[in-house]
Amino acid sequence: MKTSNSYTAIAYLFLAPALILMGLLTFWPVGYNTYLAFQDYSIADGTATWNNFANFKYIANEPLFWNALKNSALYLLIVPVIQLAALVVAKMVNNKLPGMTLFRALFYIPVITSISIAGVVWANVYKYDGVLTWLLQSLGLIHDQVNWLGEPSIALYMLMIFTFWKGIGYYMVLYLAGLQAIPSEVEEAAILDGANAFQRFWKITVPMVKPTILLCTLLSTIAAIKVYLEVIVLTKGQADTYTALYYVYDQAFRNYNFGRAAAAGVVVTFFCMLLAVIQFRFFGDKK
């Protein structure tokens, strides 16, 4: 007869491959990055020398890094917008109507579209004489052509719209899974009690998908802080779209200063963890 210790050992045995891969591909890179943040690293001979926090002192006094952090913080504006929109869309497509599967697939297509291909398409949409300018001129909302990705006052928001289009389908699927776990009897009882659609949404749907809201908010917050690919494919950091992770890329692969890039990466990771803690306290279980 197997004891509880035997079951525990078997469980860890099954978990071991995943834990080993996670250690090699996640924890070891994070640990080595943290080590590099305190070193002067030479890519030529692979030597690393302790530099007495010089990398952190440098980025703390560099306006470019603070501006990048400011842009990454501003990018967080997309989080509540995309979460609310994804939840509403998930609620709408969570109906057993003809053609609903097609609508779900259409919303998910941007998620599986390569960001490089999507970037080429959206770069043409945002051109002076692109689709966006044509549409707004046709509606009489603007008269002159606009450099949507070249104007510093709006370029970052254009990237947010691209992120919104690319990501809403992903979060919709997660919310859809959460919605389908809600017993139909709960909503039927609310209907019998006279609750309207708005009341059912805020009093039943939102509280019962709270764990999913926490997960999606956490994922989208981290994605917003780490925004980088959108910048690469659309603006290359120009027009005040230089973000914190783009700074890390710039320092590592253009300036070959891996220590400074690692220090900036540690700061970005710290902010991600801080925001995660805040969100767990706000959306997490209070018990």
Is the per-residue pLDDT at 150 higher than 70?
Answer: yes
Q: What is the pLDDT of residue 157?
A: 95
Q: What is the pLDDT of residue 250?
A: 93
- For residue 40, the SS3 value is strand
Query: Phi and psi of 39, rounded to 5°?
Result: -125, 160
* Structure tokens given for 110: 């941007």
Q: What is the pLDDT of residues 167-196, one digit of tens each?
A: 999 999 999 999 988 888 888 888 888 888
Q: What is the pLDDT of residue 286?
A: 62
Output the pTM of the full model: 0.87
Distances (CA, A) of 236 to 9, 115, 167, 191, 209: 50, 14, 20, 52, 37
* Mean pLDDT score, 48-58: 92
Is the per-residue pLDDT at 287 higher than 80?
Answer: no
Q: What is the pLDDT of residues 87-140, one digit of tens each?
A: 999 988 888 777 888 888 888 999 999 999 999 999 999 998 889 999 999 999
What is the 3-class SS of 143-174, one letter each residue?
Answer: CCCCCCCCCCCCHHHHHHHHHHHHHHHHHHHH
Is the per-residue pLDDT at 255 higher than 80?
Answer: yes
Q: What is the pLDDT of residue 83?
A: 94
Q: How confident is the model at residue 234 (pLDDT cuts 50, 70, 90)?
A: very high
Distances (CA, A) of 280 to 29, 187, 199, 222, 274: 25, 27, 25, 13, 10
Which positions ≥6 away from 67 have C-beta within 8 Å?
A: 240, 242
Q: What is the pLDDT of residue 122?
A: 94
Q: What is the pLDDT of residue 279?
A: 86
Q: What is the pLDDT of residue 96?
A: 79
* Structure tokens given for 226: 């780490």
Q: What is the pLDDT of residue 1?
A: 57
Whole-number Å distance between alpha carbons of 165 and 107: 9
Q: How confident is the model at residue 2 (pLDDT cuts 50, 70, 90)?
A: low
